[in-house]
Amino acid sequence: MASIQKVEGGYRVQIKKLGVRDSQMFPSRREAVEWSAKREAEIVAGRKIPKGKQTTLKQVLRRYGEEVSPSKRGERWEQIRLAAFEGHKLPLDAPIADVTPQHIADFRDARLKQVTGSSVLRELALLGAVFEAARLEWGLIDKNPCRDIRKPQEARHRTRTLHWREIRALLRQMGYRRRGRVATTAEAVAVCMLVALRTGMRAGELCSLTWSEVYDRHVHLPITKNGTARDVPLSSRAKPLIERMRGWDDQLVFGLKTASLDALFRKYRARAGLSGFTWHDTRHTAATMLSKKVDVLTLCKVFGWSETRQALTYYNPTASSIADLLG
């Protein structure tokens, strides 16, 4: 509010509005009042609202999905998760600059009642990446609220491996034949599973594998989960399996999408009356089987691990199988 004082020679008006100070002298009080009202209106109209106060969290989530996610290998997962955020306990309609660590902590606590700590950690990592883009790339905020909360504990890694009786039951449901070219999608899934068990390749790596990347004794993966290329050796059992896929698809070796592979695998697992394992457990199984033939450094090379401790996550032998090795 303006302060008007009578001084020698007229009236002095002083204003302080939205951090702006100004003053002026007038011969009459009426002129001082008129000027102060006009000047305050100019300050309000001319004040620049920070971008972070103009843009909501929902808008930032969608912008991240449009501009950042398409450049990532995990685009599909990110897009699904970003859309799901709009149904969770987050201040979606609040300006992103007003989102606090407490808001993120409330989201964390609500999600921990629904999913595991590992799932919440992945969601927080994506949410943190969104805020980091808003901070570094778009200049919307000064701090990332995801950095100032306590992170949940990650669940213990899976130790499940597939038993050969389970593998045989799956193969029967998939109509697998030992010889001849693949003739059905179910059989393509079966061969893909067997190659996964012989090589330890991930579902995404298998589904994106092209014939131009298949060589006599290995396959070349130009892009993997950790962002580096990898050569995967083909054993005398893995090579014939891949050759059986000739003629199924002109470009892709297995002619399957990752989502379709997972859905079909779950379907045949249910038909076989089995449960308790996922497609990714074929990688655990492969690591456990190959560890009997190669040393840990070679195993890390085959699986693309940069640290030997990662072998402990995937190498899951039973006590009896270790006893067999000891003799």
pLDDT in tens, 19-67: 667 778 888 888 888 888 887 887 776 555 556 567 899 999 999 999 9
Within a domain: residue 122?
Answer: yes
CATH number of the domain to which 296 belongs:
1.10.443.10
Shared domain for 38 and 63, answered yes or no, is no
Within a domain: residue 154?
Answer: no
Within a domain: residue 181?
Answer: yes
Shared domain for 39 and 77, answered yes or no, is no
pLDDT band at 201 (very low <50, low <70, confident <90, very high): very high
Residue 156 DSSP class? P
Name which residue leads in pLDDT, 253 or 21.
253
DSSP 182-223: --SHHHHHHHHHHHHHHH---HHHHHH-BGGGB-SSEEEESS
And the tokens for 314?
């995937």
Shared domain for 183 and 321, answered yes or no, is yes
pLDDT band at 288 (very low <50, low <70, confident <90, very high): confident
- Separation of alpha carbons 298 and 286, rounded Å: 14
Shared domain for 212 and 293, answered yes or no, is yes
Shared domain for 61 and 34, answered yes or no, is no
Shared domain for 71 and 100, answered yes or no, is yes
Shared domain for 254 and 283, answered yes or no, is yes
Which of 121, 148, 175 corresponds to the end of one domain?
A: 148
> What is the reported pTM?
0.62
> Rounded to whole angstroms, what are the CA distances from 166 to 172, 191, 277, 290?
10, 15, 10, 19
Shared domain for 142 and 24, answered yes or no, is no
Shared domain for 37 and 57, answered yes or no, is no
Within a domain: residue 126?
Answer: yes
Shared domain for 222 and 286, answered yes or no, is yes
- Bridge partners of 252, per DSSP, are 210
Within a domain: residue 159?
Answer: no
Shared domain for 8 and 129, answered yes or no, is no
Closest CA to 81 of 59, 64, 104, 102: 64
Percent pLDDT > 70 in the chain is 88
> Rounded to whole angstroms, what are the CA distances from 310 to 151, 287, 314?
22, 11, 7
Within a domain: residue 195?
Answer: yes
> Rounded to whole angstroms, what are the CA distances from 256 to 13, 16, 209, 238?
77, 68, 10, 18
Within a domain: residue 158?
Answer: no
State the chain's mean pLDDT as an integer. 87
Percent pLDDT > 90 in the chain is 55
Strands (E), the chain: 3-7, 10-17, 20-26, 218-221, 230-233
Residue-level pLDDT at 323: 66
Residue-level pLDDT at 238: 94
Shared domain for 43 and 63, answered yes or no, is no
Number of domains in the chain: 3
Domain limits for position 269: 164-326
